[in-house]
Amino acid sequence: MKLKLTIAYDGTAYQGWQSQRSGRGVQDQLHTALAALFPEAPELTGSSRTDAGVHALGMVAHFETAELRMPLRHLPLALNALLPVDIRVLGAAKATEAFHARFGAKGKEYRYRIWNHAAMNPLLRTQAWHVPRALDLAAMQVAAALFVGQHDFRAFTAKRPGILGDSVRTLTRCEVRKRGPEITVVLAGPGFLYKMCRGIVGTLVQIGEGRYPAEAVREMLASRDRRISGVNAPAHGLVLQKVFYR
């Protein structure tokens, strides 16, 4: 049978979702827990590869097993008893044979938290980017709207070894919201490039600080040049909020 898990984690102590030689990937912790419950030590396939320090509330993953020796509703409890306290399985469900956590995903939503106040909220020190300088929210909202749609986002991705292939992506949402000193950037779309969310958020913050005009987003996108866009926002403010399936 194929089983689908919904997973939340605080990524502070981990080198991202993906398994690592060091064993410090979130996936490594889940593999260890699954191996303790299932004799075949099933391989877990995730819907996304979050970077080191990035968090998740709605990571989806699947695995296959010959037999489940407990009621399905007990599986999250059994796994959580074996996992570190900063990783939790929120739910488990049977999936169809055709289901694939990664290739079946039709969209993802990320959220980035910014604490815009002279003093950092100590309760959010590992969950939000502290930006003490006052930000122009209206300019950030105008700029965010320019990211929506299909664009070549080469200017907002970090380099990886090898040649970057297709860098055209579609954003269905890019919104900037404010509640008190907390600003949240919501980004949604079918897929994202490496560090693309962090490149967009870093640029929006620099626009809010007055370092670029909002309209500069058009020039950045057209340039396809990472050197003329804004900085990457720190990883710890980013959360994979939800993965969408048909």
Structure tokens at 186: 């919501």
Amino acid at 111: R
Burial group, residue 48, by CB count within 10 angstroms (0-12, 13-18, 19+): buried
Q: Which residues, 6 or more positions from 81, have their beta carbon under 8 angstroms from its beta carbon?
A: none
Domain layout of the chain by residue ranges: 2-95, 107-244
Q: Which helix (H) or strand (E) holds 222?
A: helix 216-223
What pLDDT is attached to residue 164? Answer: 67
Is domain 107-244 in CATH 3.30.230.10, yes or no?
no
How is domain 2-95 classified at the architecture level of CATH? 2-Layer Sandwich (3.30)
Could you give the CA distance from residue 229 to residue 212 in angstroms, rounded to a whole number?
9
**Whether the domain at 2-95 and the domain at 107-244 fall into the same CATH topology:** yes
Q: Which residues are catalytic?
A: 51
Residue with tokens 């938290």: 113
pLDDT for 102: 95
The rounded average pLDDT for each run of 10 residues, N- to C-terminus, in the chain (246 residues) is 97 95 95 96 95 97 95 97 98 96 97 98 97 98 98 88 78 98 98 95 98 97 94 97 95
CA 241 – CA 9 distance, rounded (Å): 11
DSSP calls for 130-181: E--S---HHHHHHHHHHH-EEEE-GGGS---SS-----EEEESEEEEEEETT
> How many Å is the Cα radius of gyration of the chain?
19
Structure tokens at 7: 């997973």
